């Protein structure tokens, strides 16, 4: 079992829909949770960064961490065609730098 | 700031040749990371530096790979000799602190034929 599991998709939704992207992880020591967005032929771009459990909101994006279920989510409200990209989760322990990356979910927003 | 700058953007080379990838991190960032991305393996951390010092190179696949950071504004990743299985996109990223999240460059698409 991989330490971080992420459905590769593609996930195709109509414009304006609420999108839910998810990762599950196996190591309960993980404390730092990040979401990156990667457009085709570009480098990943940091979207959201959360520490421990709870929710964090930034504009149309909400990151949610459920440590009891070892489950993290990224919600996108009012999705736009410009949100079409691959979304990667990245998770880290507290004690040292060993960032574990999900495989990425390809998201397609249809106009 | 122009962000993390990588060169070249594309590199096609023959098996056995030496390849050097270059990176200029964001000024003031103390951490520099080299990643490799492939369809099969996703994003893999190869090595990272803190204040120009290599901290963890456990992700470097073989001795054919080496990385240096002679000063705070420049780093190189060298593959010698290159092999077709090294074909991938190589990213350099920098970060202002240990857990701030990294800023990635545009990547170098390497093809070894």
Which residues of A fall within a CB distance of 8 Å from B105? 43
HEC profile of chain A: CCCEECCCCCEEEECCCCEEEEEEECCCCEEEEEEEEECCCCCCEEEEEEECCEEEEECCEEEEEECCCCEEEEEECCCCHHHCEEEEEEEEECCCCCCEECCCEEEEEEC
* pLDDT, tens digit, 9 for 90 and up, residues B8-22: 999 999 999 999 999
For residue A36, give the nearest of B40, B2, B95 by alpha carbon.
Answer: B95
pLDDT at A86 over 80: yes
Contact across the interface for A44 and B104, Cβ inside 8 Å: yes
Name which of A43, A88, A104 is nearest B105 (Cβ-Cβ): A43
d(CA B22, CA B5): 8
Residue B99: pLDDT band (50, 70, 90) is confident
Q: Coil, strand or helix: which one is B113?
A: coil
* pLDDT, tens digit, 9 for 90 and up, residues B25-64: 999 999 999 999 999 999 999 999 999 999 999 999 889 9
What's chain A's average pLDDT? 91
Look at residue B23 in the predicted model and tell me its pLDDT.
98
Contact across the interface for B93 and A43, Cβ inside 8 Å: yes
Token representation of residue B53: 């010092």
Q: Are A34 and B101 in contact (CB under 8 A)?
A: yes
pLDDT at A96 over 80: no
Token representation of residue A55: 């929710």
d(CA A23, CA A7): 8
Q: Is B101 on the interface with A (CB under 8 A)?
A: yes
Q: Are B79 and B105 in contact (CB under 8 A)?
A: no
d(CA B3, CA B27): 9
Which residues of B fall within a CB distance of 8 Å from A94? none
* pLDDT, tens digit, 9 for 90 and up, residues A33-71: 999 999 999 999 999 988 878 889 999 999 999 989 999
Contact across the interface for A103 and B107, Cβ inside 8 Å: no
Contact across the interface for A43 and B55, Cβ inside 8 Å: no
């Amino acid at each position: 079992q991989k330490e971080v599991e992420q459905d590769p998709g593609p996930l195709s939704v109509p414009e304006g829909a609420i999108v839910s992207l998810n990762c599950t992880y196996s190591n309960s020591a993980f404390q730092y949770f990040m979401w990156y967005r990667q457009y085709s032929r570009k480098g990943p771009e940091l979207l959201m960064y959360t520490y421990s459990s709870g929710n964090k909101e930034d504009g149309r994006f909400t990151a949610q961490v459920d440590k009891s279920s070892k489950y993290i989510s990224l919600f996108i409200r009012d999705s736009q065609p410009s949100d079409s990209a691959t979304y990667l989760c990245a998770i880290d322990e507290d004690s040292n730098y060993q960032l574990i990356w999900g495989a990425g979910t390809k998201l397609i927003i249809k106009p | 700031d122009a962000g993390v700058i990588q060169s070249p953007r594309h590199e096609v080379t023959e098996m056995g040749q030496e390849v050097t990838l270059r990176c200029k991190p964001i000024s003031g960032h103390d951490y520099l990371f080299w990643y490799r991305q492939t369809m099969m393996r996703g994003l893999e951390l190869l090595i990272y530096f803190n204040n120009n010092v290599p901290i963890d190179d456990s992700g470097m696949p073989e001795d054919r790979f080496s990385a240096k950071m002679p000063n705070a504004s420049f780093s190189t990743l060298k593959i010698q000799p290159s092999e077709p299985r090294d074909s991938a996109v190589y990213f350099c990223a920098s970060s202002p602190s240990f857990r701030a999240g990294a800023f990635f460059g545009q990547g170098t698409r390497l093809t070894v034929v």
